[in-house]
A and B are shown apart, each in its own frame.
Chain A
Amino acid sequence: MSIKGKAYIAGVYEHPTRKAEHASLAQLHAEVAKGAVEDAGLSLKDVDAYFCAGDAPGLGPLNMIDYMGLKVRHFDSTDVGGSSYLIHASHAAQAIAEGKCKVALITLAGRPRSEGRSGTQQRVAIPNVPDAPYEGPYGLVTVNMYALAAKRHMYEFGTTSEQLAWVKVAASHHAQYNPHAFLQKVMTVEDVVNSPMIADPLHRADCCVVTDGGGAILMVAPEIAKSLKRPLVKLIGAGESTKGPLGGNVDLTFSGAAVSGPIAFAEAGVKHSDIKYASIYDSFTITVVMQLEDLGFCKKGEGGKFVADGDLISGVGKLPFNTDGGGMCNNHPNNRGGITKIIEAVRQLRGEAHPKVQVKNCDIALAHGTGGSLGTRHGSATMIMERE
């Protein structure tokens, strides 16, 4: 059974905070939940399904359903890092299509800024994780695992630091119009390549921001969406995949998007030229370049050229991306960018993005997430959405 057109995204909400010193993690989840249901014109009493990932406290659904006083008949806590929420949206659509629920709430929240968590922290050895004894001693942190993929991409395809920098530059052009963005200053290629080197070849400005806050989305059955006063945005295709080091057959030149993307495009029945706007997971600049290749927006190896010279800037380039400023400049709550990717795509489809970055006649949009590590194991999720 296809999920095409079986579920609508009726509510979205991005928390305006970027540093939440005085709010608990559970409180942030509840605040974004309330924001999303109110955006749809519904209330938390209408919610009959709940989805969350590893950022939720305790045993996820058990703690949060109790904390928020929800009454649900369906829940799911799939956790594959920052891509989890796009997978939740797809799973919610499946559950709605099967009649298991009608109003599904998905939340993400976190306080990494207040708690001092970032992408340069050494990982703690967790018992029973089979790969940990063979990886932990070598100082794997988030940024250097992505750096390994970037370095190999440069070696195989001649990608340059200047090309990667254009991803940040484009995001910064969008972020200047977002009053909530963590970084609002327009950046140049020189600004990016002259920022401090964190893990060769990734500079500080090749990395996303570390922010507190969160976001939520509300997926509903078609008859409920049509009873509400919001523009109609439906999910028409979704794909998910995982990729790892393959028992030692390591190939860092592609990501799981090479699998999840074609599944989503096939289900949606649309072409790349139909996509008017794309939310592309931007944990690091290299993440965007590789995902654009793997999703088929350009040939493998040509992602560097594709993003250069402003081609991701709304109103300027051929594929407007991350018009809220993305994880690069706006927000990457709890070091997980999945939900904000869906939220900005929905704003674009509704025509509710900032007028300076709103894409004209934006009827079909894509959102893609990569969670975990491009250099070792990651989850990939692609969503294609359409305004009705």
Chain B
Amino acid sequence: MATPYQDRKIPAPTLNEGDAPYFEGAAQGKLMTKYCNDCKKYHHFPRPMCPHCHSTNTEWREAKGTGTVYSVSVTRAAGPVPYALAYVTLDEGPTMITNIVDCDLDTIQIGQKVKVTFKPTDDPKVLVPMFKPA
């Protein structure tokens, strides 16, 4: 069985205050993440206050864009085309919800190395990070 990747209509996110740097980065092909200068840990999704130690001494950092599949589910009955919902653990540490794209979805394995790519949403100026086999 093979399930080739197909493009899917991706709803553009409704941003809240503080979300812009992440999506401005994505529009320029950068995966932005948040780093805490006090506990020295990254977190995701990004927020002004570190969820690990509650410090507000946090800063934006560009991630390398490489990571490992933590879990994946090829979703076959929730829309017009199948898609692979996944958690990817970034090499910097945090695990993020995403999609795995640009491959036979049936071949994706937990533990597989992946790298970031960016896909347009239904607002063509807004892109979101997804991952493909490294």
Contacts and interface: CB of A to CB of B under 8 A. Distances in A.
Contacts, number: 142
Contacts of B27: none
A143 interface: yes
Nearest to B46: A134
Contacts of B78: 120-122, 139, 141, 143-144, 198-199
B11 A199 contact: no
Interface footprint category on B = 35 or more
A139 B94 CA distance: 20
B87 A148 contact: yes
B2 interface: no
Interface stretch (A70-78, A125-133, A163-171, A350-358): A125-133
B16 interface: yes
Interface of B: 8, 10-16, 19, 22-23, 42-47, 50-52, 70-79, 83, 85-87, 89, 93-99, 110-111, 121, 128, 130
Interface stretch (A247-255, A313-321, A336-344): A247-255
A340 B52 CA distance: 37
A139 B85 contact: yes
B74 A155 contact: no
Q: Taking each of A145, A199, A202, A252, which has the highest tally of chain B beta carbons within 10 Å of its own beta carbon? A: A199
Interface of A: 120-122, 125-128, 130-141, 143-145, 147-152, 155, 196-202, 204, 245-250, 252, 376
Contact of A133 (B16, B43, B99): B16
A138 B16 contact: no
Given A140-B85, A149-B71, 13 more contacts: A134-B13, A134-B44, A135-B97, A151-B71, A199-B78, A200-B72, A200-B73, A200-B76, A246-B51, A248-B43, A250-B87, A250-B95, A376-B97
A196 B82 CA distance: 13
B15 A133 contact: yes
Contacts of A196: 76-77
A122 B9 CA distance: 12
Nearest to B8: A139
Nearest to B18: A130
B29 to A, nearest CB: 16
Nearest to A248: B94
A159 to B, nearest CB: 13
Contacts of B50: 247
B87 A252 contact: yes
B45 A199 contact: no
A245 B70 CA distance: 13
A250 B93 CA distance: 10
B69 to A, nearest CB: 10
Contacts of B72: 148, 151, 200
B98 A138 contact: yes
A120 B70 contact: no
A205 to B, nearest CB: 13
B99 A250 contact: no
Contact of B47 (A126, A127, A130, A250): A130
